[in-house]
């Protein structure tokens, strides 16, 4: 028997928004894929419906959920004509986003994860930035929230830039540099002009990416745009949950990582041939993320059969992208001594020692986090 849930009621500017109350051609389209999101979906939707800017539509996808997500979607749609619910079998976030783009009516498009929240003035601020700058992409920042929605980490020390910036054709490579370094990878912290997202790119091979799909998704709008506005305003609230992909690790993430980074490298090398600075920043980020993925794989799959582990490590080691990265000496100071040592062992195929030290680091981490 399905769990019971309370149908949401909410007030937008002191009245409920009913069918026929709102225009058909909104300025913003907000695409929200939801899969088994019953725990936080109501809070997520309310953070949009309580915006100080009204001119938007919500394309809400129940992506094959097995909990009460579909019912929550329908209940919200009954109260607000700006919400269109699409029930579908599970397609994953990447394909769902593209489907949402094709169904959207807005001039600019947002993507929102179903367990995250918006600041109440996000749409108002982005609208102001669009009308003052005319930029194709508006990039804002985010902060971290806990399970109750309380802000726990303000991201001030990790901002891509220290102040508001507008990048045009002459300076856009500077923005690309920060994207390559991994600081601007989220699609959820950006508003995109819809024209940038209309693509005839064959996405079949990308449809089942389990990790890093945001970075891959961003390549196409970034290749088409000539102007981006960046603001340090933290308008997006990212909820870090135990179920998030960053807290688990699948072996497939390694092959996803190699595929995605190969696409990113091709984008940079074709768009900026001979730009050694951008290529170096890419390889610096690649090396740091490679360390993270390999360390995660080895620590969280410590009991895997040794032959299988070696085969997976070899598949990364033999990739063309990794071989190219070995010729780059400058990693921009991003790597610690520990990371350099780990990658040196990997480069020399000292797999047994890698597994050994990964287990030591894992045990040390568990010991240091054990309750007193």
In this prediction, residue 278 has a pLDDT band, given cuts at 50, 70 and 90, of confident
**pLDDT of 10 above 50:** no
The answer for residues whose C-beta is within 8 angstroms of residue 239's C-beta and 6 or more apart is: 40, 115, 116, 117, 144, 145, 146, 147, 149
Condensed to tens digits (0 to 9), the pLDDT of residues 119-148 reads 999 999 999 999 999 999 999 999 999 888
**Chain mean position to CA 187:** 5
Q: Determine the pLDDT at residue 243.
A: 53
CB 185 within 8 A of CB 214: yes
Average pLDDT, the chain: 85
Instruction: Report the alpha-carbon distance of residue 366 to residue 372 in Å, rounded.
Output: 12
CB 111 within 8 A of CB 97: yes
Question: What sign does the CA torsion over 170, 230, 244, 249 have?
Answer: positive
Tokens for 53? 């800017």
Q: Print burial letters for 148-175: b (CB count within 10 Å at least 16), e (below 16).
A: eeeeeeeeeeeebbeeebbbeeeebbeb
Tell me how far the alpha carbon of residue 180 is from its chain's centroid.
14
If you average pLDDT over residues 245-268, what whole number do you get? 81
Residue that the structure tokens 């780059």 belong to: 328
The enclosing H or E element of 329 equals: none
Cα separation of 135 and 130, whole Å? 6
Q: Using 50, 70 and 90 to split pLDDT, how confident is the model at 150?
A: confident
The lowest-confidence range among 21-35, 206-220, 264-278 is 206-220
The pLDDT value recorded for residue 85 is: 98
What pLDDT is recorded for position 12?
33
| CB contact at 8 A, 122 and 235 | yes
Q: Per-residue confidence at 212, pLDDT binned at 50, 70, 90?
A: confident
Going from N- to C-terminal start, the domains of the chain cover 28-246, 249-368
| Structure letter (DSSP) for residue 6 | P
Tokens representing residue 34 in the block: 């939801």
Query: How confident is residue 23, by pLDDT bands cut at 50, 70 and 90?
Result: low
Tens-place pLDDT, residues 85-104: 999 998 888 889 989 999 99
Q: What's the fold here for domain 28-246?
A: Spore Coat Polysaccharide Biosynthesis Protein SpsA; Chain A (3.90.550)
In this predicted structure, what is the pLDDT of residue 109?
98
| Distance (Å) of CA 181 to CA 157, 188, 229, 296, 319 | 15, 18, 18, 20, 21
pLDDT at 24 over 50: yes
Tokens 């961003």 identify what position? 218
The most confident of 148-152, 240-244, 328-332, by mean pLDDT: 148-152
What pLDDT is stored for residue 21 in this prediction? 52
DSSP one-letter string for 117-181: EE-TTHHHHHHHHHHHH--SEEEEEEEEE-TTS-EEE--GGG-SSSS-EEE-TTTHHHHHHHHHT
pTM for the model: 0.85
Least confident among 10-24, 69-83, 194-208: 10-24
What confidence score (pLDDT) does residue 331 get? 58
Confidence label for 296 from pLDDT (cuts 50, 70 and 90): confident
Residue 165: strand pairing partners: 230
Note the helical H segments in 198-272. 213-224, 252-271
Instruction: Indicate whether 7 pLDDT > 60.
Output: no
Kindly indicate the confidence band of residue 333, based on its pLDDT and cuts at 50, 70 and 90.
low
H or E element at residue 83: strand 83-88
Instruction: Quote the percentage of the chain above a pLDDT of 70.
Output: 83
Q: Residue 200: what pLDDT?
A: 55
Residue 68: the pLDDT is 96
Checking if the pLDDT of 188 tops 60, the result is yes
Chain CA centroid to CA 334, Å: 21
DSSP 8-state code for residue 53: -
Torsion of CA 46, 47, 50, 52, to 10 degrees: -160
């Amino acid at each position: 028997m399905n769990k019971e849930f309370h149908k949401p009621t909410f007030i937008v500017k002191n009245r409920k928004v009913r069918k026929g109350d709102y225009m058909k051609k909104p300025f913003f389209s907000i695409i929200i894929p939801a899969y088994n999101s019953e725990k936080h979906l109501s809070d997520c939707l309310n953070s949009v419906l309580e915006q100080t800017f009204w001119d938007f539509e919500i394309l809400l996808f129940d992506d094959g959920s097995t909990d009460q997500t579909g019912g929550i979607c329908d209940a919200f749609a009954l109260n607000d004509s700006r919400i269109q619910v699409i029930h579908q079998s599970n397609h994953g976030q990447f394909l769902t986003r593209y489907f949402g783009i094709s169904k959207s009516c807005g001039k600019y498009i947002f993507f929102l994860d179903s367990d995250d929240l918006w600041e109440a003035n996000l749409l108002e601020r982005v609208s102001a930035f669009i009308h003052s700058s005319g930029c194709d992409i508006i990039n804002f920042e985010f902060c971290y929230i806990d399970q109750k929605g309380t802000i726990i980490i303000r991201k001030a020390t990790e901002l891509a830039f220290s102040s508001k910036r507008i990048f045009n054709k002459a300076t856009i490579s500077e923005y690309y540099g920060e994207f390559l370094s991994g600081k601007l990878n989220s699609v959820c912290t950006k508003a995109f002009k819809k024209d940038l997202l209309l693509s005839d790119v064959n996405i079949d091979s990308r449809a089942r990416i389990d990790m890093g799909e945001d970075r891959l998704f961003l390549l196409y709008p970034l290749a088409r745009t000539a102007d981006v506005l960046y603001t340090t305003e933290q308008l997006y609230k990212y909820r870090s949950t135990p179920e998030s992909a960053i807290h688990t690790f699948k072996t497939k993430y390694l092959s996803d990582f190699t595929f995605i980074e190969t696409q990113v490298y091709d984008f940079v090398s074709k768009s900026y041939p001979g730009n050694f600075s951008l290529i170096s920043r890419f390889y610096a980020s690649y090396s740091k993320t490679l360390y993270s993925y390999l360390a995660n794989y080895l620590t969280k799959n410590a009991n895997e059969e040794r032959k299988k582990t070696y085969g997976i490590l070899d598949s990364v080691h033999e990739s063309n992208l990794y071989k190219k990265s070995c010729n780059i000496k400058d990693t921009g100071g991003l790597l610690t001594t520990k990371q350099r040592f780990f990658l040196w062992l990997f480069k020399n195929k000292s797999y047994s020692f890698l597994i050994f030290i990964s287990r030591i680091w894992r045990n040390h981490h568990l010991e240091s986090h054990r309750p007193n």
